[in-house]
Structure 1
């Protein structure tokens, strides 16, 4: 019970108890905030990792497509020799 004052004792007791409750639950609230911040940070890290993996797949697919297109555009030695000797292909008359 609070010291005797001009205010009703029941009011001072209720205010004192409310303040005590606020101080008592502060560590629990702080831990709850810490857990929420940690969970948010981990969720952001997982999201960033997923996005990086997706971008890596896109880059790998583009590199593979460019490599296959390059392979298809190269002529082999046999094709080169056949077109060199065939006057219908080169337009040059062989002597």
Structure 2
């Protein structure tokens, strides 16, 4: 306990105990903050990976659609060229 002051000893003890508690729980609070920040970072990484995968699927679908359209147009072009040769125009 602190040396005698003009303040009541019970008040001095109460303030001292509150300050001691703050110092005592600070490592636990720091670890809690670290865990929370780590969890947030991992969640962001998982979200970014999911979004990248979705965008990759959209790009792959667009490429497939373009490829199929190209195949269909080649068939139509070759049919048109053959028809032109046959008809002699």
Cα RMSD after superposing both structures: 2.7
Extract structure 1 runs of 4+ deviating beyond 2 A. 75-82, 92-95
When normalised by structure 2's length, the TM-score is: 0.86
Q: Which has the higher helix share?
A: 2
Q: Count residues in correspondence.
A: 89
In structure 1, the gaps of 5 or more residues are: 86-91
C-alpha spacing 1:8/1:93, structure 2 compared with 1 (3 Å): closer
Normalising by the residue count of structure 1, what TM-score does the alignment of the two structures yield?
0.81
Alpha carbons of 1:36 and 1:49: their partners in 2 closer, same or farther (altered >3 Å)? same
Structure 2 unaligned spans of 5+: none
Task: Give the greater-gyration-radius structure (CA).
Answer: 1
Q: Find the aligned partners of 1:49 and 1:61 in 2 and give their Cα distance.
A: 18
